[in-house]
Amino acid sequence: MRAGWRAVGVVGRGVAGFGKPVMFDVCERLGVEYTFGLPANAVLQRRSADLLAEAVRGWEETQTPQRLFTGFAYQAGSWPVRRWVIVKAEANAQGTNRRFLVSNRPGASVCPEATYDEYAMRGESENRNKELKCGVGMDRLSDHRFVANLFRMVLHAAALNLLVRLRREIADPPPAPAGEAATLAGTERKRYQNARRRRDPLGEGQPATWRLLLIKVAASVVVSCRRIVVRLSGSWPNQNYFEQVRQHVCRRPAVAHIWTG
């Protein structure tokens, strides 16, 4: 990877199953920044007991969900050096939740909450895999010929890339209360994401959302010698979304294709 992309940094993220000394050693030897989940033990629980108690006390006094963070240097018995550990303590109506991370990222000691949220975003790559498999049916590779299945895979990948490009270009998210959506965390982040889904359902919409709002729509198709007219119902509730995408596509400059061969 470094031979091909010399200016690109490599960052590793993984759940507690990957939080092993061998992984820390490999990343540190190769100069890779990492954030891994860390299994709880008696020492970590003892050192974070005050933070958890503070979260519980805040919940009991305000009935507002609490999400607190701290960090400290820690060295397990099997570690040759001390490493930075981040603790998240939550208290709400469902009870308490405490999680531990170990990270060598430069900002981990200064911004524990942001480091934790960035670690949690590792699931976004899994969401993209889910979109490819479930959203556009990538797993429908039922032909007995390899090349035919490969061609199907290419079509599925092209469909997902088209969707990703479209939703990036037409996205119209509401302004974040703090000015930058990336800096939001906890309850504010969830509130903003819910507001965006209501205002901009296509901007981050899954393939199923696009299919429901724009594609699987009853229409009358009239074919003549000069044109094809698609007539949509005047009472269709999603006309504004369709018009938004149509106007954007029509505004795109024409691309000239030159075929050689």
Residue ranges per structural domain of the chain: 11-121, 123-166, 219-251
Angstrom distances, CA of residue 140 to CA of 13, 132, 163: 30, 11, 19
State yes or no: pLDDT of 227 exceeds 80. Answer: yes
Do residues 65 and 125 lie in contact, with contact meaning Cβ atoms separated by under 8 Å?
Answer: no
Task: Name which of 46-60, 193-207, 247-261 the model is least confident about.
Answer: 247-261
Lowest mean pLDDT among 90-104, 105-119, 169-183, 206-220: 169-183
For a pLDDT cut of 90, what percent of the chain falls above it? 46
Phi, psi (5° rounding) for residue 243? Answer: -65, -35
Give the pLDDT of residue 246.
Answer: 85
User: Cβ distance 108 to 118 under 8 Å?
Assistant: no
Q: What is the pLDDT of residue 183?
A: 62
Q: Write down the pLDDT at residue 260.
A: 54
Q: In b/e form, how buried is each residue of 37-70, taking b as 16+ CB within 10 angstroms? A: bbeeeeebeeebeebbeebbebbeeeeeebbbbb
- Amino acid letter for position 81: V
- Per DSSP, 253 falls in state P
What separation in angstroms does the CA of 229 have from each of 175, 219, 222, 245, 250? 38, 10, 5, 17, 16
CA-CA-CA-CA torsion sign (105, 106, 111, 114):
negative
Structure confidence at residue 221 (pLDDT): 92
| Portion of the chain with pLDDT greater than 70, in percent | 93
Dig out the tokens for 8 from the structure.
Answer: 């690109």
Count Cβ atoms below 10 Å from residue 90 Cβ, excluding itself. 19
87-139 residue pLDDT tens: 999 999 999 999 999 999 998 999 999 999 889 888 777 888 888 888 888 88
